[in-house]
Amino acid sequence: MTPTPRTPDDAATRPSPKGRVTRAAILDVALTQALHCGLEGLSIGLLAEQAHMSKSGVFAHFGSREELQIAVIREYHRRFSAEVFGPALRQPRGLPRLRALFENWLQRVSAELASGCIYISGAVEFDDRPGAVRDALVAMVDDWHAALERAIGLAVSEGHLRADADPAQLRFEIHGLILAVHHDARLLRRGDAPRRARTGFNCIVERWATAAPADPAAARG
C-alpha cells in the first residue's frame, strides 16, 4: 500500500524540536501555577512573564486558554501515572502491586500538600461546568480509576482477595482515604492523616483478604 504523500502544509504544522522544548517549558510553568491557583487561576499574562515570553508567544503554542488548561490536565496525569502507577507495575501481580500503588499515591499526596492536586481542585472548579476542560478532567480520572480497579481485580484473580470482592467498591473506599488525607492534612493541618490512611487501607485489605497470607513480607514479619 502506497503511503499518502505529505504536503508542505503537513511539515509546516508539525512542531519543531525547539518548539516542543518551548512548549514543554511553558507547560511546566503553567502546571506549577495551576497547582497553586487552580485551572481557573491560570493567567496567560503571568505565565508569559514567568516563562519570559510574550502573550502572543504563549498563545502560539496553545491557541487558547482552554487548550492550555487541557494540556495542563494531561501533563499532570502523565506525571501522576509515571510516579504512582509506573513503579507499582514492577511489583508482583496482586496485593503487592496494590499495596505499592496505594503507598506511591499516598507519598505523592504528601508531596502535594504545600500546593494542591489538579484532580481535586479541578473537580471543585468544573464539576458543574460542561465543556472540553471538564471532559478532559473526567477522562483522566476515569483512566486512573480503571487502572486502580484492574489492580484490585488482579489481587482477586491471584487469590489474595476474596472472589466476592467488588473492585469498584474497593476503589471507591481507597479513593475516599486519599480525599480524607487532602482534607485533614491541608485544611485541618493534621499530621497524622497519612498514618490514618494507611490504617484504613490495611483494614480494607484485611476485610477482603483470603485465609492465605497475601503479603509475603508481612507473613515473614
Q: Is residue 89 part of a domain?
A: yes
pLDDT band at 123 (very low <50, low <70, confident <90, very high): very high
Position 30 scores a pLDDT of: 93
The pLDDT value given to residue 216:
47
Determine the pLDDT at residue 209: 97
pLDDT over 80 at 150, yes or no: yes
> What are the residues whose beta carbons fall under 8 Å from the beta carbon of 148, sequence distance 6 or more?
101, 171, 174, 175
pLDDT at 2: 40
What confidence tier does 110 reach under pLDDT thresholds 50, 70, 90?
confident
In a domain, 15, yes or no: no
Asked if residue 136 lies in contact with residue 74, where contact means CB atoms within 8 angstroms, the answer is yes
pLDDT digits 0-9 by tens, 14-56:
556 777 888 899 999 999 999 989 999 998 888 888 888 888 8
Does residue 156 lie within any of the structural domains? Answer: yes
Q: Which of 17-31, 98-112, 139-153, 188-202 has the least mean pLDDT?
A: 17-31
Give the model's pLDDT for residue 212: 56
pLDDT for the residue numbered 75 = 95
pLDDT of residue 220: 39
Contact call for residues 155 and 214 (beta carbons, < 8 A):
yes
Quote the pLDDT of residue 18.
78
Residue 59 carries which DSSP code? H
Q: Single out the residue of 181, 161, 168 nearest to residue 96, CA to CA.
A: 161
Q: What are the pLDDT digits (tens) for 163-209?
A: 999 999 999 999 999 999 999 998 899 999 999 999 999 999 999 99
* Residue 5 counted as domain residue: no
Closest C-alpha among 42, 37, 144 to residue 86: 144
- Tell me the Ramachandran region of residue 84: left when phi exceeds 0, alpha when psi lies from -120 to 50, beta otherwise: alpha
- Does 58 fall in a domain? no
Residue 76's nearest CA partner among 109, 107, 34 is 34
Cell of 60: 502560539
Number of domains in the chain: 1
Asked whether residue 43 is domain-assigned, the answer is no
Asked whether residue 4 is assigned to any structural domain, the reply reads: no
Residue 94: pLDDT above 90?
Answer: yes
Range of the domain at 186: 66-213
Instruction: Give the chain's mean pLDDT.
Output: 87
Residue 19 within any structural domain of the chain: no
Paired residues of 209 in beta bridges: 161
- Residues contacting 155, CB < 8 A, separation 6+: 94, 95, 97, 98, 161, 165, 214
Distance, CA of 72 to CA of 42 (rounded, Å):
10
Q: What is the CATH number of the domain that holds 103?
A: 1.10.357.10
Residue 94 neighbours by CB under 8 Å, 6+ apart? 154, 155, 157, 158, 159, 160, 214
Number of Cβ atoms within 10 Å of the Cβ of 170: 23
217 pLDDT tier (thresholds 50, 70, 90) = very low
